[in-house]
Structure 1
Amino acid sequence: MQVSIKWLHDYIDFNETSDELADKLTMAGIPVENVVHAGEGLEKVVTGKVESIERHPDSDHMFITQMNVGQPELVQVVTGAQNVKQGDIVPVAMIGAKLPNGLKISKGKLRGVPSNGMLCSADELKMDLTTLTDEQKDGIYILPADTEIGIPAKDALGLDDDILEFELTANRGDCFSVFGLVREIAVLTGNTPKWPEIKANEDDEASTADMIKIGIEANDLCSRFSARVLKNVKIMESPEWMQVRLENAGIRAINNIVDVTNFVMVELGQPMHAYDYDQIAGKSLTARRAVAGENLHTLDDSSRIAKGEELVIADSEKPAGLAGIMGGLESEVTENTTTVVLEAAAFNGASIRRTARSCGLRSEASGRFERGVDETQTMRALDRAAQLLQDMGACTVTKGIVDVYPVEKEPVSVDFTPEQINKRLGTDIPAEMMVKILESLDFKCEADGKGGYHVSVPSWRNDVTFMEDLSEEVARIYGFDNIQSTTPEGTMVQGVQSPLQDFIDHIKITLTHIGLSEELSFSFSNFDVLDKMLIPADSPLRNAIPLMNPFVEEAQLVRTSLLASVIENAVRNLSRKNEDIRLYDVAPVFYPKSLPLTELPDEVVKVAGFMCGRRNPVGWNTGDDMIDFYDAKGVVEELLARRNITRYTVEAGEYTAMHPGKTALFKKGKDIIAAVGELHPQVAENFGITKKAYIFEMDVATLMKYSSAKFNFDVLPKYPAVFRDLAILVDKDVNASDIEKTIIGNGGKYFKRAVLFDLYTGKQIDAGKKSVAFTMLFQSNDKTLTDEEVDESFNKIVAAVEKKFDAELRK
C-alpha cells in the first residue's frame, strides 16, 4: 500500500513533514516502510520547449536544439534522442543539476558543439515506468502540449509530492485506504478530517432494478452484492489530477471508468468492478461457485480451468469474472461501451486468498478482500464512483441501487474495565483518557454503571473483537514510548526433556550406533502412496486428515503411516544410485477421532526403518553378501535389548506393506511391540524397487510401556555349565518359538537358556517334516551338576516336546 501526501492533504490538514508523519504512524502501529521524495534530484530540472532542431554537422544521430526554458535567452542543448521534434515540451536538466540516477550535468561540448544541459527521459528522472506507455518509456519524455514552460519539471510531472510506502499488518485492512489512514492521522495530529460529500445525482429516468438483476448463491463466500447502472457513458482519459493520484499509488491510469473504480478502491478501501452492460448475458449477475471444468477467461487474456471451489460473478451463461480478483475479458469496458454496470461486494477473505494463490493471480482488489473490507459501505462506494464520473460529464446515473444483503452485519461490542487494560499494559492510565482515545478512533463508549464500559466497534475495524484488542488501541495511541519498561517477573524453571523425548533420543542413539542413518521427512502423504502401500479401503490408515491448502500436489494428507515416508525416501536414494540403504525415522503419525476435524487428532510416535543392499561396505576383504531378513530382525532385537525389553515372543504374522510369508511380529501379551519383514513384492513393484528390501516398524508408546530402567546383574558362576543338544523331527508348520516356550516351561530349576542352532529340510527328512536342533544350558550357582540331575531335566523336556508336537528324536 502506498499513498501520496497530497492525497492525504485532500481530506485533512496537518503541519508535519512527510518523515515526521511517517514516524507518528509507525509508532502508532501503522508502519511506514519508506518515504519516497518523488521530486528529489529534480531541483534544477525545468520544462522547456523545442523552438528549433537541426542535425549535428559531425554526427548522423545527434541533434542541436534551441530550448525555451522561460529565460530571456534560448538554451542550446545537444541530444541523441530520435523522438524529439520542434514544438515538443520536455524536461530539461540545467547546468548544475544532479539527477536521481546520480548523473551530474555540466557545461560541455559534444562533437565540438556546446551543450548547456540535457533533455531527460523517464528513466533518467526515476519515474515509475510501470505506469507509463511504451512510447513514454522510450526516448525523451514528452510532456503535454499545454504544459507551462519554465516551471519545475517535478510540478509538471506530478512529482512535487512525497509517497508513503506502508508495510501494513494483515489485521489492519481498514488502513488499506486513504480514508482509513486519514482517520489515523486525525487522531495522531488532533486535526479534523474534511470528508467529501458523497452523493450521486440520479439524473436518468431508467431504474437500475429494471435493467440488471443480481443474486447470491454462495452465501458463505459472498455476504453482500450491490450494483448500479450508468448510461450514456463516455470513455475518455481521466482528469490529470486523478491520474497523478493513481500513479503515486502505484496504479496505472487506463480510462475514466477503470480509473474511477481504482480511485474509489484506494480512497474508501472498497474494491469495485465495471462491466459492459451490453456484454452481460441475460442482464443478470450472480455470485456463485464455479463449476468444475468451467473456463475462466480473465482480463489478462488468460484462460483457467475452474476446480469448482472458486467464487465467480457469472451472467446467465458464463462466468463474467473471478470474484474479488479480476474481471472477465468478455465483459470488459472498451471504447465502444455506452452502458456500464458498477459492482461492489463483500467476499470471504479466505476464499479469495485460496483462489488467488491457486490461480497465481494477485491484484490490488484481492489484497484488500483477503484482509477484510467494510461490507456496510458497498452502496457508498457505488455512489462515490457515480459522483466522480458525473463530475467528468461521462455518464448519467439510473435511479436506485440493487443491493442483495441476506444477513446484515451485526455491530460488534466489547466490554472492558480500566483495571483490565491497565493490568495488561502495566500502566496507570485514567479511565477518562482511555475513553477519549477510543472515541477518537470512532469507538462508541458507554459506561455500564459498574466501573466498566460497553464499547461499540466501528464497522471498518474487523480486527477488534476482544478486550485485548481494545488494550492495544489504547496503548498505541497513548504511546508505547510512554509505557514504562519493566523486567518481567516470574519463577525461573529449568527446562528439561520429557521422558518421551529422552526415550526417543535413546532410540536414535541405538539405531545410529548399529549403522542406520536417520532421515527427516514432512508429515504429509497422499492417496497415491496409500494405494502403492496396498492399504485396504477399510483400513484406519486411510482415515487421513486432508489439507485445505496443500503446498504441493504430493502433500494432500496428514500422514497415518511412517513406513510410507521411509519407503519414499529410500526410493529417492535408490533413484540416485545410493543402493546400500539403512534408514530409520522416529516421528509422529496422526489419527483423527472423526472427520471433518472437531478436535485435535491423536499424535502417535512411531519408529520405522528400511534396509537393502550389501551387508558390508565394498572392499577387497569383504564379501558380496546382501542384507536379509535376519539383519533387520537383529536391528529390532538389539534395540529391544538396549531398552531392557525381554520375555517377548516372536511369531509369524501379517503387517502393512510386508510380505505375508516373511513377516515376524514381536509380542508382549496381546501387544505388538515390533513388526519386521521383507517388503511386499507388489509394494516394491509399485514404488519401482527392484531389489530385496526389509522394513520394520514399532510404536514408541508401546516400547516405553515394556521398557525397564532397572537392570539385574548376576555374579559370575563359580561352577561349570552343562550342555545338552536336542534334535527332533516335527511338522513343517510348527514354529520354533513354540518349541522354545515348551523347553523353557519344562527346564527345571537348573535350566538357563535354549538356542536354536540348526534347521534342516531335505532328502533325509520325510516330506512335510523338518529337523530342528536346540542347544540347552544347565547350571547351578551352588554346585557342580551331576549327569543324573541334568538328565532328569532333559528327559522331562523331551517328554513334553514329544507329547505336545508329536516330535520324534533324531538319532
Structure 2
Amino acid sequence: MQVSIKWLKDYIDFTETPEELADKLTMAGIPVENVVHTGEGLEKVVVGKLTEVRPHENSDHLQICTVDVAKGEPLTIVTGAPNVQEGQLVPVALVGAHLPNGQKIEKSKMRGVLSMGMLCSAEEMRLDLDALPESQKNGIYILPEDTTVGVSVKDVLGLDDVILEFELTANRADCFSVLGLVREISVLTGNPMHFPEIKVNEDDAADSKDLVSVSIQANDLCKRFSAGVLKNVKIGPSPKWMQQRLEGAGIRSINNVVDVTNFVMIELGQPMHAYDYDEITGHSLTARKAVKGENLHTLDDSSRVANGTELVIADAEKPAGLAGIMGGLESEITEKTTTVVLEAASFYGPNIRRTARSCGLHSEASGRFERGVDVTETPRAIKRASQLLQEMGACTVCKNIVDVYPEPVVPVKISFTAPQINRRLGTKLSGDVMCDILKKLGFGIETVSDESYTAVVPSWRNDVTRWEDLSEEVAQVYGFDEIPSTTPHGRVMSAGQSKKQYFIEKMKAVLCSLGLDETASFAFTHPSMYDKMQVPEDSMLRTAIPIMNPLTDEYPLVRTTLLSSVFENVVRNLSRKNEDVRLFEIAPVFYPKSLPVTELPDEVMKAAGIITGRRAPLGWNQVNDEVDFYDLKGIIEELLTALSIKRYTVEVGEHYVMHPGKTAVIKKGNDILAYIGEVHPAVAEAFSVKKKMYAFEMDVLTLMKHSEEHFNYTHLPKYPAVSRDLALLVDRDLPAMDIEKVIKKNAGPYFKEVCLFDVYTGKQVDSAKKSVAFSLLFQSNDKTLTDAEVDEAFGKIVSEVEKLFGAELRA
C-alpha cells in the first residue's frame, strides 16, 4: 500500500513533515517502510523557452539553442536532440543540477561552444515511459504551450509530492485505504478530518432497480451485493489531479470510469467494478459459485477453466467476472460504452485468497478482500463513484441503488475494565482517558459502572474481537514511549533435549560415522509412489491424508512411508551421475485415524535408508566391488550395538519393496527392530534404476524400547580364552541362525561368542547339503579353563545339532 501526502492533505491538515508523520504512524502500529520524494533530483530543473535554434558550425548533428528561463540573461545550451524547434517549452537542467539518473550538470564546451546546462528527456528525468505517448519517449521532453516559463518542472509534472510506502500487517485491513489512514492521522495529530460530503444528484429519470437485477446464490461467499446504473456516459481521460493521486498510489490511469473505481477503492478501501450495461446478458448480475469446467475469460485476455470452487459474478448466460479479483473481458468498459453498471460487494476473504492463488492472479482488489472489507461501505462506494463521474460531467445518475444484504452484520461489543487494561500495559491510565482514545478511533463506548465499560467496535475494524485488542489500541495512541519500561522477570528454565530427541541425534551420528549421508525431505508424496514401491492395495500405507493446498501437483498427499522420500533422493542423485549413494533419513510419517480427517493423525518416527554403488571410493589401490546385502546388514548391526541393543535375532522376512529370499528381519522378542534387504527388481525398474539397491526401514520408538539404559561393567578377564572350530555338514536350506541358537543354548557357563566364518557348497559335498564352520570362544573370569571343561561343552553342542538337524561333524 502506498499513498501520496497530497492525497492525505486533501482530507486532513497537518504540519508534520513526511518523515515525522511516518514515525508517528509507525509507532502507532501502521509501519511506513519508505518515504519517497517523487521529484528528487529535479530541484534545479526549470521550464525554458527555445527562442533560437541554429546548427552547430563544427558538427553535423549538434544544435545551439538560446533558452529563456526567466532568470537573467538567456542561456546557451548545446544539444544533439533532433526534435527541438524554436518556440518550444522544454525542461532545462541548470548548472549544478543532479538529475534522478545520477547525471551532474556542469558548464562544458562542446565543439568550441560553452553549454550552460542541458535540455532533458523523459528518461533523464526518470518519468514513467509506459504512460507517455510515443512522441515523448525519445528526444527532449516537450512541455505544453501554456506552461509558465521559469517555474520548476516538478510543479508542472506533478512531481512535487511525497509518497509513503506502507508495510501493513494483514490484520489492519482498514488502513488499506486513504480514509483509514486519515482516521489514524486525525487521532495522532489531533486535527479533524474534512472528508468531502458524498452527495449525488440523481438526474436521470430511470430507476436502477428497473434496469438491472442483482442476486446472491452463494450466501457463504458473498455477504452483500450492491449496484447502481449510470447513463449517457462519456468515456475520456480523468482530470489531471485524479491521475496524479492514482499515480501516487501506484496505479496507472486508463479512462475516467475505470480510474474512478480505482480511486474509490484506494480512498474508501472498497473495491469496485464497472460493467458495460449493454454487454450484460439479461441485464442481471448474480454472485454464484462457478460451474466446474466453465470458461472464465478475464480482463487480462486469459481464459481459465473453473474448478467449481471460485466465486463469479455471472450474467444470465456466463460469468462476467472473477469475483473480487478481476472482471470479464466481454463486459469491460470501452470507448463505445454509454451505460455503466457500478458494482460493489463484500466477498469472503479466504475464498478470494484461494482462488487468486490457484489462478495465479493477484490484484489490488483481491488483496483487500483477502484481508477483509467493511461490509457497510458498498452503497457509499457506489454513491462516491457516481458523484465523481457526475462532477466530471461524464454521466447522468439513475435513481436508487440495488442492494442485496441478506444478513446484516451485528456490531461486535466487548466488555473491559480500566484496571484490566492497566495491568496488561503496565500503566495507570484512568478509564476516561482510555474511552477518549477509543472514541477518537471510532469505537462506541457504553459505561456499565465505575471503570467498567462496553466498547462497540466500528464496522471497519474487523481485527478487534476481544479486550486485549482494545488494550493495544490504547497503547498505540497513548504512545509506547510513554509506557514505563520494566525488566522481565520469571523463573529461568534450563533447556535440553528430550530422551527421544537425544536418541535420534545419536542414531544420526552413528549412521553418519558409518558412511551414510543424512537427507531432509518434505513430508509429502504422490499416489504413484505406492504403485512404484508395490505397496499392497489393501495396505494401510495407501490411506494417506490429502493436502487441501499442495505446494505442487507432485506432492498432493502426506507420506505414510519414509521409503518414498528416500527413493526420490536416491533417484535424484543417480540422475546427476552420483553413482555411489548411501542415504538415510529419520523423520515422521503420518497415519490418519480416519478419512476425511476429523482429528490429528498419528505421527510415527521412522528411519530408512538405501545404499548402492561401489563399496570403496574409486582409486588405484581399491577394488571395484559393489556393495551387497552384508554391507547393509553390517551397518545396521553396528547401529544396534551403538544403541546398546543386544540379544536380537536375524531371520528371513518379507517387505513390500524388497526381494523375496533376499530380505531379513531383525527381531527382539515379537518386536521387529529392522527390515533389511535387496530392493525388488520390479521396484528398481519402476524408478528406472538398473543397479542393485539395498534398503532398510526401522521404527524409532521400537529401537528406544529395547535400548539398554543401565550397564554393569566388569573387569577384563585375567585368564586366556579357548577357541574351538566346529565344522558341520547340514541340509542346504537350514539357516545358520538356527544352528547358532542351539550353540548358545548348550555351550555352558563359559561360552562367550560364536562366529560363522565359512559356508561351502561344491563338489566335495552332496548337492542337498552345505558345510558350515563356526568359531566358538570360551573364557572364565575366575580360572584358566581345562581341555576337559571345554570338551564337555563342545560335545554337548555336537550332540544337540546332530539330534535336532541331522548334522554331521566334519574333520
- TM-score (normalised: structure 1): 0.92
- Aligned partner of 1:497 in structure 2 is 497
Distance change (3 Å), C-alpha of 1:308 and 1:58: farther
Moved more, 127-136 or 707-716: 127-136
1: distance between equivalents of 2:545 and 2:229?
47
Aligned to 1:617: 617
Q: How does 1:366-445 map to 2 (within 5 A)?
A: 366-445=366-445
For 2:631 and 2:225, the matched residues in 1 are separated by: 68
> How much does 1:97 deviate?
4.5
CA distance in 2, matches of 1:117, 1:760: 100
- What is the CA deviation profile of residues 567-608 of structure 1, one whole-angstrom value per residue up to 9, with x for unaligned ones? 222212212222122222222223333444444433322222
Residue 250 of structure 1 corresponds to 250
Q: Deviations over 1:390-411 (max 9, x none)?
A: 1112112223323333433332
2:619, 2:102 → 1: CA distance?
Answer: 66
AA paired with 1:330?
E
Amino acid at match of 2:704: M
Relative to structure 1, the CA distance from residue 701 to residue 243 in structure 2 (aligned partners, 3 Å threshold; closer, same or farther) is: same
State the partner residue of 1:81.
Answer: 81
Contact in 2 for aligned 1:208/1:401 (Cα 8 Å): yes
Of residues 744-753 and 787-796 in structure 1, the stretch that sits farther from structure 2 once superposed is 787-796
Secondary structure of 1:448's counterpart equals: strand
Q: 2: distance between equivalents of 1:741 and 1:55?
A: 110
- Contact 1:108–1:115 (CA under 8 A) maintained in structure 2: yes
Query: Gaps spanning 5+ residues in structure 2: where?
Result: none
Q: Are the equivalent residues in 2 in contact too, given 1:131–1:251 (CA < 8 A)?
A: no
Alpha-carbon shift at residue 32 of structure 1 (Å): 1.7
Counterpart of 1:727? 728
Q: How far is 1:682 from its partner?
A: 1.6
The equivalences for 1:147-166 within 5 A come to 147-166=147-166
Q: How does 1:59-74 map to 2 (within 5 A)?
A: 59-65=59-65, 69=69
Q: Which amino acid in 1 is paired with 2:689?
A: I
Cα distance change on mapping 1:97 and 1:774 into 2, 3 Å: closer
**Range 723-732 or range 607-616, more displaced:** 723-732
AA paired with 1:341? V
Q: Are residues 191 and 64 of structure 1, via their aligned partners in 2, closer, same or farther at CA, if it must alter by over 3 Å?
A: same
C-alpha deviation, 1:610, in angstroms: 1.1
Deviation track 1:142-194 (CA, whole Å, cap 9, x = no partner) reads: 33444444433322222232222222222212111110010001001111111
Q: Following the alignment from structure 2 to structure 1, what is the Cα–Cα distance between the partners of residues 115 and 794?
A: 119
Q: Are the counterparts in 2 of residues 722 and 785 from structure 1 also a CA contact under 8 Å?
A: no
What secondary structure, in the 3-state scheme, does the structure 1 residue paired with 2:449 have? coil
- Contact between 1:264 and 1:271, CA under 8 Å: does it hold in 2? yes
- Report if the CA contact (8 A) 1:62-1:78 is conserved: yes
Distance 1:274 1:352 in 2: 19
* Distance in 2, Cα, partners of 1:130 & 1:399: 39
Secondary structure of 1:488's partner?
Answer: coil
- Counterparts of residues 19-34 of structure 1 (less than 5 Å): 19-34=19-34
Q: Name the amino acid aligned to 1:729.
A: V
Alpha-carbon offset, residue 256 of structure 1: 0.4
Q: Which whole-Å deviations, capped at 9, do the CAs of 1:502-525 have from their partners, x for residues lacking one?
A: 212221221122222222333332
User: Following the alignment from structure 1 to structure 2, what is the Cα–Cα distance between the partners of residues 448 and 403?
Assistant: 36
Residue 672 (structure 2) pairs with residue 672 (structure 1):
yes
- Separation in structure 1 between the aligned mates of residue 44 and residue 755 of structure 2, nearest angstrom: 99
Cα distance in 1 for partners of 2:678, 2:728 equals: 29
CA–CA distance in 2 between the matches of 1:65 and 1:446?
A: 73
Cα distance between partner residues in 2 of 1:40 and 1:634: 72
Call closer, same or farther: CA 1:389–1:702 in 2, change over 3 Å. same
Output the aligned Cα RMSD.
Answer: 3.0
- Following superposition, the deviation at residue 331 of structure 1 comes to 1.7
Q: What pairs with 1:758-769 in structure 2 (closer than 5 Å)?
A: 758-761=758-761
TM-score normalised to structure 2 length: 0.92
Query: What's the % identity of the aligned pairs?
Result: 65
Distance 1:148 1:536, change over 3 A: farther
Tell me which moved more, 742-751 or 457-466.
742-751
Distance 1:409 1:731, change over 3 A: farther
Letter in 2 for 1:301: D
Amino acid aligned to 1:373: V
Q: Distance in 2 between matches of 1:341 and 1:695?
A: 66
Aligned length: 810
Between the aligned partners of 2:424 and 2:253, the Cα distance in structure 1 is 48
Task: Measure the CA separation in 2 of the matches of 1:432 and 1:332.
Answer: 53
Alpha-carbon shift at residue 4 of structure 1 (Å): 1.6
Who is 1:265 aligned against? Answer: 265
Q: Which moved more, 1:744-753 or 1:370-379?
A: 744-753
Asked if 1 retains the 8 angstrom alpha-carbon contact of 2:503 and 2:704, the reply is yes
Question: Who is 2:175 aligned against?
Answer: 175
Q: Deviations over 1:363-384 (max 9, x none)?
A: 2222222222212211111111
C-alpha offsets along residues 609-633 of structure 1, whole Å, 9 cap, x if unaligned? 2111121222333322211111101
The answer to whether the Cα contact below 8 Å between 1:130 and 1:252 also exists between their aligned partners in 2 is no
Secondary structure at the aligned position of 1:545 is classed as: coil
> Are residues 782 and 111 of structure 1, via their aligned partners in 2, closer, same or farther at CA, if it must alter by over 3 Å?
closer
Question: Which residue identity does 1:640 align to in structure 2?
Answer: L
Q: 1:664 to 1:448 in 2, by over 3 A?
A: farther
In the alignment, the residues of structure 2 paired with residue 255 and residue 88 of structure 1 have an alpha-carbon distance, to the nearest angstrom, of 28
Aligned to 1:513: 513
Could you tell me whether the CA contact under 8 Å between 1:729 and 1:810 is conserved in 2? no
Matched residue, 2:663: 663
Superimposed CA distance per residue, residues 220-249 of structure 1 (whole angstroms, 9 cap, x where no aligned partner): 433332222222111011112111211222
Moved more, 790-799 or 579-588: 790-799
Contact map agreement 1:11 1:196 (CA 8 A) in 2: yes
Change (3 A) 1:805 1:326: same
Equivalent residue number for residue 586 of structure 1:
586
Paired position in structure 1 for 2:35: 35
For residue 668 of structure 2, what is the amino acid of its counterpart? K
Aligned amino acid, residue 422 of structure 2: N
Structure 1 residue ranges without an equivalent (≥5) = none
